[in-house]
Chains A and B, each alone.
Chain A
């Protein structure tokens, strides 16, 4: 039951935040019940950017539907495409060449870095600091240039195809990535200097928006939101796909579960991504970049499920096939939806200014939640 905006019977103020509000990062609509400045209840309303992607995918073939998923979580579009490609490959039972697997992991980690950089800048802007936004975009631009060179697009790449990747790497790829890693390492301390060590920033994020380990599990939180509460849920570690099983990296875990812990988890993940890129960039094996597949893909009758770790958490792709050229049903389990559902629990009792800070650390991408 949607409550009317205005004053409720017991004197609480009910206001709208969004759907057009700069701090909600898109068309998120929150109906907030306030007692003075204290948040009593947060009710997210969805549906403003629903494009029925799941239904659209049912009318597209197994090669075609992957490009639509770039439009869900557009900040980690590579990883969305990868999840779909995995699900189709499970049905086709094809062996992916080692080179393609390494390229996929490299691209996923670059995407994760780009996504976390944008989050870092946007979150700082939510709290009131403008400068970090420009610093973050400077580094993100380098990743976008690398993507543009190899994949042909900057945001919606459609580079992962069933059987491997669409093109081989650009000859300059290794050089550019090494340059970027070196540059980003030297600038990473600036990030800490500008924001992490700032006392005002710490005061606004520490002990704010706390979620316990049990609550994080029961709300179905994944990704940095759950890992900040101490839940070990990194798909790359627990169910390794592609070459993640052979790599040395740590799952960043925190115990506090507050906004600052979520911040620290993402900063730690950026360092881990850099170390993964370091391990792979000199060891890209030679060989095919795509396995041989038929021109028209047909999945045998059955159900296929694959999970990948996007920058925001666990993305599940569930395909039911009737044996035809198009899927019978596709369902995406998006990480943002579950993380958003915990917002009410986190924000209750905090001040309205902190609500925006909590939303910032959740790293919401609304098209991913609505689809």
Chain B
């Protein structure tokens, strides 16, 4: 007899603990204010990403189409994956002196792991991380980008 009693007691305890959990589930089912999920593709316009979020590397330009990159290749050396390739040229100034300058800033987004080491390494704060994270394209070659805008030149006073 005691065996049957014990059996019924176990079943009762199991069902009651199940109901206890179900009570909590039911609470969230009926309280819609507690919902925290977001409708992502629909809320694109209101999506606010933090300032430090690492989406992709960009070279900042001001309104006169000037950037701050001197072509020192510190970022290229800091990158662990070979993501950045900088092609430099020698500009000749009025006094006839040769000076190293940036020709093309090539950025391989497909190799980038967003480790932020290039941003930290840059001595002139020329590059920064942008918040854009939707990178899918149909052709992988589109992920190799040239960051300096056509016709852009070095900002005055940046050494």
Q: Does A222 contact B (CB under 8 A)?
A: no
Q: Can you name the residue of chain A whose Cβ is closest to the Cβ of B114? A: A153
Interface string of B1-28 (1 = CB under 8 A from A): 0000000001001100110110011000
A153-B54, A153-B114, A199-B13 given; name 4 further pairs at CB < 8 Å: A152-B50, A152-B52, A170-B52, A198-B17
Q: Does B158 contact A (CB under 8 A)?
A: no
Inter-chain contacts of B120 with A (CB < 8 A)? 161, 166
Inter-chain contacts of B10 with A (CB < 8 A)? 199
Q: Name 25 interchain pairs, CB-CB below 8 A, sorted by A.
A: A60-B80, A63-B78, A63-B117, A64-B78, A68-B80, A129-B21, A131-B24, A131-B25, A138-B36, A141-B36, A148-B50, A148-B52, A150-B52, A152-B53, A152-B116, A153-B114, A158-B115, A167-B52, A190-B24, A193-B21, A197-B20, A199-B17, A200-B14, A200-B17, A200-B18
Q: Does B113 contact A (CB under 8 A)?
A: yes
Contact between chains at B54 and A152 (CB < 8 Å): yes
Inter-chain contacts of A190 with B (CB < 8 A)? 24
Q: Does A289 contact B (CB under 8 A)?
A: no
Contact between chains at A198 and B78 (CB < 8 Å): no
Q: Can you name the residue of chain A whose Cβ is closest to the Cβ of B23? A: A193
Which size bracket describes the interface of A in this complex?
20 to 34
Q: A193-B21, A193-B24, A197-B20 are in contact. Are A156 and B13 (CB under 8 A)?
A: no
Please report which residues of chain B, range 112-131, place their CB below 8 angstroms from some CB of chain A when the two chains form the complex: 113-117, 120, 129
**In the bound complex, how far is the Cα of B117 from the Cα of A198, in angstroms?**
48
Q: Can you name the residue of chain A whose Cβ is closest to the Cβ of B79? A: A64
Tell me, rounded to whole Å, the shortest Cβ–Cβ distance linking A289 to chain B: 13
Tell me, rounded to whole Å, the shortest Cβ–Cβ distance linking B66 to chain A: 26
Interface string of A48-81 (1 = CB under 8 A from B): 0000000000001001110110000000000000
Contact between chains at B24 and A194 (CB < 8 Å): yes
Tell me, rounded to whole Å, the shortest Cβ–Cβ distance linking A193 to chain B: 6
Q: Can you name the residue of chain A whose Cβ is closest to the Cβ of B113? A: A67
**In the bound complex, how far is the Cα of B130 from the Cα of A152, in angstroms?**
11
Please report which residues of chain A, range 104-140, place their CB below 8 angstroms from some CB of chain B when the two chains form the complex: 129, 131, 138
**In the bound complex, how far is the Cα of B117 from the Cα of A56, in angstroms?**
17
**In the bound complex, how far is the Cα of B129 from the Cα of A63, in angstroms?**
19
Rank and list the top 4 A-B pairs by shortest CB-CB distance, nearest first: A64-B80, A67-B115, A152-B52, A149-B50
Q: Can you name the residue of chain A whose Cβ is closest to the Cβ of B20? A: A193
Q: Can you name the residue of chain A whose Cβ is closest to the Cβ of B21? A: A194
Inter-chain contacts of B115 with A (CB < 8 A)? 67, 156, 158
Inter-chain contacts of B79 with A (CB < 8 A)? 64
Q: A152-B116, A158-B116 are in contact. Are A131 and B52 (CB under 8 A)?
A: no
Inter-chain contacts of A148 with B (CB < 8 A)? 49-50, 52-53
Inter-chain contacts of A152 with B (CB < 8 A)? 50, 52-54, 114, 116, 129
Tell me, rounded to whole Å, the shortest Cβ–Cβ distance linking A106 to chain B: 17
Pick from A141, A149, A166, A193: contact of B116, CB under 8 Å:
A166
Contact between chains at A149 and B17 (CB < 8 Å): no
**In the bound complex, how far is the Cα of B115 from the Cα of A199, in angstroms?**
46
Please report which residues of chain A, range 149-171, place their CB below 8 angstroms from some CB of chain B when the two chains form the complex: 149-153, 156, 158, 161, 166-167, 170
Inter-chain contacts of B52 with A (CB < 8 A)? 148-152, 167, 170
**In the bound complex, how far is the Cα of B115 from the Cα of A151, in angstroms?**
10
Tell me, rounded to whole Å, the shortest Cβ–Cβ distance linking B54 to chain A: 5
Please report which residues of chain A, range 184-214, place their CB below 8 angstroms from some CB of chain B when the two chains form the complex: 190, 193-195, 197-200
**In the bound complex, how far is the Cα of B79 from the Cα of A64, in angstroms?**
7
Tell me, rounded to whole Å, the shortest Cβ–Cβ distance linking A70 to chain B: 8
Inter-chain contacts of B18 with A (CB < 8 A)? 198, 200
Tell me, rounded to whole Å, the shortest Cβ–Cβ distance linking A314 to chain B: 26
Contact between chains at A198 and B36 (CB < 8 Å): no
Inter-chain contacts of B24 with A (CB < 8 A)? 131, 190, 193-194
Inter-chain contacts of B116 with A (CB < 8 A)? 152, 158, 166
**In the bound complex, how far is the Cα of B25 from the Cα of A195, in angstroms?**
12
**In the bound complex, how far is the Cα of B20 from the Cα of A196, in angstroms?**
12
Inter-chain contacts of A65 with B (CB < 8 A)? 80
Interface string of B69-98 (1 = CB under 8 A from A): 000000000111000000000000000000
Q: Can you name the residue of chain B whose Cβ is closest to the Cβ of A138? A: B36
Q: Can you name the residue of chain A whose Cβ is closest to the Cβ of B115? A: A67
